[in-house]
Chains A and B, each alone.
Chain A
Amino acid sequence: MNSILYILVLSMSTPLLIFNDKGIYCTAANVYIDAWKPVDNVIITHGHADHSRWGHQRYITHHHNIPIIKHRLGDIEVVGVDYGETFSVNNVKFSLHPAGHIIGSSQVRVEHKGEVWVFTGDYKLDDDGVAKPYESVSCHTFISECTFGLPAFNWRPQKEVFEEINQWWLSNQEEGRTSVLFGYSLGKAQRLLKHLNPDIGKIYTHGAIENMTDVCRQLVEFPATELITRDTTKKDLHGHMVLAPPSAHGSTWIRKMTPYVTGSASGWMTFRGARRRRAIDQGFVLSDHCDWNQLLEAVKNTGCEKVICTHGYTDIFAKYLRTLGYDARTEKTQYEEQED
C-alpha cells in the first residue's frame, strides 16, 4: 500500500483520543490523560482523587497542581507547565488551559495534523475568586463532563449564595450555636474559606481541610483558620464557624461542636430531598461544576462539531445536543462524582 494512503487510512480509523480500559489515551503520542489505571505518561487535569490517581510513572500537570498532588500522592515524578504553554510529544501538541474548577485545574488541548481536541476535566464558567477562571478553547471535538447536565440545575450568582451563608452563620451565632459547614476538603473548602466573613467570628477547620488549605496558601491568600485539636474546647468553638469534610457528618468528632447547626454547600443541594436524606439543616447550592446553561454555553463557545460526554448525566445531555445539531455521543470513564 502507498505509504501516504496508509497514513491517511490510519488517521481516519484511529481518533486522536480514545477511551480504553486505562484512561483517555492519545495513541499518536502514547500519552494518557487522567488515567484510572497505572500508565507510563499521564497528563493530570486537577487534584481530585478520581482524576489524579496513584501509580503512574511520569505526571505532567499545571505548576499549581504540583503541591496539591504531591500532598496527596507523595513523592512522584512530575513536570509542571504553565497555562497556554505548548509541549510536543511525537509531533502531537499539548497545552493546558484554565478550567475554573479548583486551584490548578486545567483543560487539556491536543492538536495533531490540524485536528484539535479539548478535554475539560471538571470545569465551571463562573469566576469563584480562587481558581483561575475558565477560558474557552476552540476545537473540533470537545470532551465535556456533565455532572450537572440537567435543566434542573441553575446556579445563582455566588455573591448571593455567600451572602446567604454569612447570614446563616450570623443568625446561628445569635442563637448561641456553632455553624458546621460541610464541603469537600480540596476545592470547595477553600472556596468557602475565601468568601466567609472573618468579621463574624473565627473559622475553625477539620484536619483534612487544614492540611490541604496549608498547601493552597502558597498559591492564594485566605483568611486565617484554626485547626481543631484535642485541646480545643466546646467553649472555644461557641458561635464560630467550623469547616469540615462531608465524611465528618455523623462522626463522634462533631459532638464537640454542640450546640451546632449543620450546612452543606454542594450542587446536589438543589434537590430538596438531598438535604433531608442526609439530615443536614441547611443546604446551599454551590458547585464547582457547570450548571445546565454553562454546559450549553461552553459547548457553543468552542465552535466544535463533535461532543463526547463523560461522567454525569451523559445520555441526557448528549441526546439534547443532538437535537441542537451536534454530533454528540457518550463515553464511559471511571471518574466518580465528587461532593461538588
Chain B
Amino acid sequence: MKAFAQLIKTIDSTNKTNKKVDALADYFSTAPNNDKVWTIAILSHRRPPRPVNTTLLREFASALADIPLWLFEESYHIVGDLAETIALVLPNVESSTDKSLSSFCEDLLALKAESEATKKAYLTEHWTQMDYYERFVFNKLITGGFRIGLSQKLMTRALAKATELDEDILAYKLMGNWNPAKITFQELILEENKADYLSKPYPFYLAYALEENISDLGNPADWSAEHKWDGIRSQVIIRDGELFVWSRGEELVTDKYPEFEEFVEHMPDGIVLDGEILAYPNNEIGSFKDLQTRIGRKNVSKKLLEKTPVILKVYDLLELKGEDIREKPLAWRRQELEKLYKKFQNKISVFHLSEEIKFNEWEELIAEREHAREIKSEGLMLKKKNAHYGVGRKKGDWWKWKSDPFSIDGVLTYAMRGHGRRSNLFTDYTFGLWDDEKKELVTFAKAYSGLTDKEFKELDAWIKKNTLDRFGPVRSVTPHHVFEVAFEGIAKSKRHKSGVATRFPRILRWRKDKKLEEANTLSDLKALIPK
C-alpha cells in the first residue's frame, strides 16, 4: 500500500502528463504482480464493490476524529470529497502498516458481508496505521471515483513502457470482463488466450471537438460527414453465435438491450459494428432522456421495451468475417458497412445506418448543421475518408462539430458556497425565469461554471451584501442580476417545478446590460423544446 500511495502522491504532484506516465511505468516495473493487477483494475474503474456505505463511513470517521457528526458534514461540504475529508480530519498516525495493496483489496471484498461492528473495527484499526496519503488512497478504494488525471489510455502507455508490449495490444487485453481477484498478471497481460478474445471489443476511436474554421480542414472531397447522434456509443459484437454489446465506458451491457438479439439471429459470425444506441419511441428517434429510462435498468420489463425501444445507429465496421479491418481506410469500411446494411436492413429492424451527408462545398455542411436539432442530432461528425480506425483520442482524423448550444437569460435567485479553494466564495448559482405575468421567478437551472475569477469575486461580494434569507449553506438573494445561461439539451420534465429539464447548463455571460424585467420567461424556454 505504501508504494501505491507514494505513486498517487507523485502523480498528484505534477501537472505534466509525461511525468505521470513515467511514475506509473516505474511503479509497474517494480510492484509485485498481484498489486499490478489491482492497480490496473483500480485505474480502469474495476475497484472492489463498495464494502461500507458512506453513512457508516462518516459515522466511523467522526467517531475516530472525536468531532460531532454535524462538524464532519460541514467539513465534507467544504472539502467536497469524502475520501479526502476523512483523510484530513483523522488524527495523525502512531504506527504504520506494510500490508500490500492487493491484500487490502481482498480484505475489502470480504468486508462487504461482515457486521457493522467488524467493519468499524477494521477501518479504525487501519486508519490509525496510515499517513495522510495512504488513508486517502484507502478511502478511495472504498468510495470509488479515483481521479488522478490519468486516462486508461495513459495507463496503458505506462504499462507498455514497463512490459515492452505493444500499446494497442495491451489496450485490447485490458478491455472486457476480467476480475482482478481471479486473474493473474501472467494471464491478464503476458499470456495469449484465444477464448478471452471472444467477447472483447476494440478500443473506441474518439473525436475531438472542432474549434477552428471548418474550411481549415482542407479539401471537402477528402472528408465524410454524418450527423452526430446523442445516445450511447456502443460496439455490437457477433462472434461464435453469441452477441456482446459494449458501451463506451467499456462495460458489457448485452442484457440491457434484448432487442439486439436480432443481430445474432440473422448476421454471420465475425462482425463488429460501431454506432450509437438511440431511443426509438413511436418509430422515431427519441431524446437522451428517453434513453435514460433504459440505461439504469438491468432487467428490462416488457412494458418498458414497448414504451422505449432502442435501435443501433451504425457508422462503422471494425471486424468482418472474423478479421480486424481497422487498418483499412474509412471509405472502404463504409462501403462494406453499406453492403451489410442493404443485405440486412429488412431483416434486422434495430439496424439503422448513420447516413453519409452528400456535399461538395463546406457551405452546404454549415447549412446542414443549422437544422441538426430538428432531426434530434447534436451537430455533425467529420471523418477523413482515408483514415484507419485509431485507438482512443487522436487529433486530426475525426472531428465532432456540435451545434451551438441553446441559451436563455435567467435571473440569479439562490447562491451556495463552492468547494475547496472557492469554499469561501458563493460560486454555485440557481437561476430563475419569469412566469407569464412576470410576477414570480421560477427556478429552471443550476450552474457553477462560466465566470472568470474576477467575476466570481465581484458577484460573491454582492451576494454577501444582498442576502434575503439563509437555508443552511444556501442563500436566497435579491433578484437583480441577469445571466445568459447556455445548455446542451432541453426536455419536458415532471420532476422540475418549471416543467423543463436542461442538460449541462453553464453560465455564458453576465448580462450587466440587462435589467431584471428583461430576463426571459418560462414560455420562452418551453418554446425551445424540440417538437
- Using a CB–CB distance below 8 Å, which chain A residues touch chain B? 150-154, 261, 268, 270-283, 312-313, 316, 319-320, 323, 337
Contact = CB atoms under 8 A, between A and B. Distances in A.
Nearest to B425: A337
Interface in B85-137: 85, 88-89, 92, 136
B71 A316 contact: yes
Interface of B: 12-16, 65, 67-68, 70-72, 74-75, 78-81, 84-85, 88-89, 92, 136, 149, 419-421, 424
Given A276-B149, A279-B15, 5 more contacts: A152-B88, A154-B92, A272-B81, A273-B81, A281-B13
Sorted nearest first, the 6 A-B pairs with minimum C-beta distance are: A273-B420, A274-B421, A152-B88, A271-B420, A151-B89, A282-B13
Given A151-B67, A151-B71, A337-B424, A273 B80 contact: yes
Contacts of A273: 80-81, 419-421
A229 B79 CA distance: 40
A278 B88 CA distance: 20
Contacts of B13: 281-283
Given A151-B67, A152-B79, A281-B15, A268 B421 contact: yes
Please indicate which of the listed interface residues B15, B68, B72 has the most CB atoms of chain A within 10 Å of its own CB: B15
Contacts of B421: 268, 271, 273-274, 277-278
B420 A150 contact: no
B16 A152 contact: no
A101 B419 CA distance: 26
Nearest to B91: A154
Contacts of B78: 150, 152, 313
A281 B65 contact: no
A268 B424 CA distance: 11
B78 to A, nearest CB: 6
Contacts of A281: 13-16
A226 B425 CA distance: 37
A258 to B, nearest CB: 13
Contacts of A268: 421
B356 to A, nearest CB: 41
Main secondary structure on A side of the interface with B: mixed
Contacts of B79: 152, 271
B81 A151 contact: no
B74 A150 contact: yes
Contacts of B12: 272, 275
A281 B20 CA distance: 11
Contacts of B420: 271-274, 277
B139 to A, nearest CB: 12
A271 B89 CA distance: 12
A199 to B, nearest CB: 23
B424 A152 contact: no
B450 to A, nearest CB: 15
A279 B14 CA distance: 9
B147 to A, nearest CB: 10
18 contacts: A150-B74, A151-B71, A151-B72, A151-B75, A152-B79, A271-B80, A271-B84, A271-B420, A272-B420, A273-B420, A274-B420, A274-B421, A279-B15, A282-B14, A316-B71, A319-B70, A320-B68, A320-B71
Nearest to A151: B89
B421 to A, nearest CB: 4
Contacts of A271: 79-80, 84, 420-421
Given A271-B79, A323-B68, A154 B74 contact: no
Nearest to A312: B424
A327 B308 CA distance: 61
Nearest to B62: A151
A274 B81 CA distance: 12
B496 to A, nearest CB: 29
A316 B423 CA distance: 13
Contacts of A151: 65, 67, 71-72, 75, 88-89
Contact of B74 (A261, A280, A316, A323): A316
Nearest to A293: B91
B84 A272 contact: yes
A71 B515 CA distance: 44
A153 B420 CA distance: 12
Contacts of B136: 272
B88 A154 contact: yes
A337 B423 CA distance: 12
A183 to B, nearest CB: 16
A271 to B, nearest CB: 4
Contacts of A150: 74-75, 78
A274 B74 CA distance: 18
A127 B186 CA distance: 54
Contacts of B65: 151
Nearest to A270: B88
A316 to B, nearest CB: 5
A313 B421 CA distance: 13
A313 B136 CA distance: 24
Contacts of A272: 12, 81, 84, 136, 420
Nearest to A269: B421
Please indicate which of the listed interface residues B79, B88, B136, B419 has the most CB atoms of chain A within 10 Å of its own CB: B88
A8 B327 CA distance: 93
A279 B15 CA distance: 7
A274 to B, nearest CB: 4
A268 B12 CA distance: 16
B279 to A, nearest CB: 36
A281 B149 CA distance: 13
A68 to B, nearest CB: 26
A37 B111 CA distance: 60
A316 B149 CA distance: 32
Contacts of B92: 154
Contacts of A323: 68
A152 B14 CA distance: 23
Contacts of B419: 273
Please indicate which of the listed interface residues A152, A153, A280 has the most CB atoms of chain B within 10 Å of its own CB: A152
A279 B79 CA distance: 18
A290 B71 CA distance: 18
A323 B74 CA distance: 15
A313 B423 CA distance: 10
B389 to A, nearest CB: 33
Nearest to A282: B13
A19 to B, nearest CB: 15
Contacts of B75: 150-152
Contacts of A153: 88
A280 to B, nearest CB: 8
Nearest to B136: A272
A337 B74 CA distance: 20
Nearest to A262: B15
Contacts of A283: 13
